[in-house]
Amino acid sequence: MKIDYTKYHALKNDFLVIEPKIKLTSSELSALAIGMCDRKDGVGADGIIVLTGSKKADASFSIYNSDGSWAEKSGNGLRIAGMHLSRNIRKKMFSIETSNRVDKIRIIEKHKSEMIITTELGEPRFETINVPMISKSKFMINSILRVGGIDFPVTCLSVGNPHTVLFVDDFNFDWKQLGKEIEFHKQFPNRTNVEFVKFINRKRIKVADWERGAGATGSSGTGAAAAVCAGVMMGILDRQCKVQFENGIMEINWRSDNNIVELTGPVVRVLSGEFQLERIN
Span 86-98, average pLDDT: 90
Span 268-272, average pLDDT: 96
pLDDT for residue 49: 98
Q: What is the mean pLDDT of the chain?
A: 95
In this structure, the answer to whether residues 214 and 147 fall within a common structural domain is: yes
Specify if 10 maps to a domain.
yes
> Does 281 have pLDDT greater than 60?
no
Q: What is the pLDDT of residues 123-154, one digit of tens each?
A: 999 999 999 999 999 999 999 999 999 999 99
Q: Which helix (H) or strand (E) holds 179?
A: helix 175-183
Specify if 281 maps to a domain.
no
pLDDT for residue 44: 97
In this structure, the answer to whether residues 151 and 252 fall within a common structural domain is: yes
Q: Give which of 161, 119, 65 is closest to 267, Cα–Cα.
A: 119
Q: What is the reported pTM?
A: 0.95
In this structure, the answer to whether residues 113 and 135 fall within a common structural domain is: no
Write the burial class of residue 280 (CB in 10 Å: 0-12 exposed, 13-18 middle, 19+ buried): middle
In this structure, the answer to whether residues 139 and 105 fall within a common structural domain is: no
Q: What is the pLDDT of residues 242-254, one digit of tens each?
A: 999 999 999 999 9
Alpha-carbon gap, residue 47 to 26, rounded angstroms: 14
Span 17-21, average pLDDT: 94
Residues 6 or more apart whose Cβ sits within 8 Å of residue 12:
217, 218, 219, 246, 247
Specify if 215 maps to a domain.
yes
In this structure, the answer to whether residues 271 and 247 fall within a common structural domain is: no
pLDDT for residue 276: 83
In this structure, the answer to whether residues 61 and 161 fall within a common structural domain is: no
Domain that holds residue 158: 128-259
In this structure, the answer to whether residues 113 and 139 fall within a common structural domain is: no
Specify if 138 maps to a domain.
yes
User: Which domain CATH number covers 174?
Assistant: 3.10.310.10
The answer to whether 157 touches 131, Cβ cutoff 8 Å, is yes
In this structure, the answer to whether residues 208 and 162 fall within a common structural domain is: yes
- Number of compact structural domains in the chain: 2
